[in-house]
Amino acid sequence: MQPSDVARIANLAKLAADASEIDQYASELTAILSMVEQMNALDTTAIEPLAHPLELTQRLRSDQITEPDQRKYFQQIAPMTEDGFYLVPRVIE
């Protein structure tokens, strides 16, 4: 994995990283992926992928409001709010 690949991935993952961190990650991620590629020793063409260990499907519930409004309570731990809204830097000029 090249530093340019790491920079692209870090951007996709929204992680700020400086040049020295990116070089470090490039060598570590290369080592991890080469360990991961041991999987290729096995032909798995005919195998069905397994997403859930018990192979259960998601349970559904009726579409009813069950939660009370706790906005004020939850916003006590927010970094920045105003009039009940979460504040972020201006997106549209």
Partner 1 sequence: MLDQPQGVSIGELAARLRRRECSSRELTADYLARIERHDSALNSFITVTPEAALAAADAADQRLARGEGGPLTGIPIAHKDIFCTQGVRTSCASRMLDNFIAPYDATVVSRLNQAGAVSLGKTNMDEFAMGSSNETSWYGPVKNPWDTTRVPGGSSGGSAAAVAAGLCLAATGTDTGGSIRQPAAFCGITGIKPTYGRCSRWGMIAFASSLDQAGVLARSAADAAHVLQAMAGFDPNDSTCADEPVPDYATNLNDSPRGLRIGVPREFLSPELDSRIAAVIEQAIELLCQLGAERHDISLPNSALSVPAYYVVAPAECSSNLARFDGVRFGHRCADPIDLDDLYQRSRGEGFGTEVKRRIMIGTYVLSAGYYDAYYLKAQKIRRLIKEDFQRAFAEVDIILGPTAPTTAFALGAKTADPVAMYLNDIFTISTNLAGLPGMSVPVAPVAGLPVGLQLIGNYFAEARLLNVAHQLQQASDWHLARPTEQKLRS
CA distance 6 to 2: 7
Asked whether position 38 contacts partner 1 by CB under 8 A, the answer is: yes
Of 54, 62, 64, 84, the one binding partner 1 by CB under 8 A: 54
**Size, binding site for partner 1 by CB under 8 A:** 52
Here the tokens at position 35 are: 């360990």
The distance of closest approach from Cβ of residue 47 to partner 1 in the complex, given in angstroms and rounded to an integer, is 4
HEC states along the chain? Answer: CCHHHHHHHHHHCCCCCCHHHHHHHHHHHHHHHHHHHHHHHCCCCCCCCCCCCCCCCCCCCCCCCCCCCCHHHHHCCCCCEECCEECCCCCCC
The distance of closest approach from Cβ of residue 19 to partner 1 in the complex, given in angstroms and rounded to an integer, is 13
Asked whether position 61 contacts partner 1 by CB under 8 A, the answer is: yes
| Residues in contact with partner 1 by the rule CB under 8 A | 1, 5-6, 9-17, 25, 28-29, 31-33, 35-42, 44, 47-54, 56, 58-59, 61, 70, 73-74, 76-80, 86, 88-91
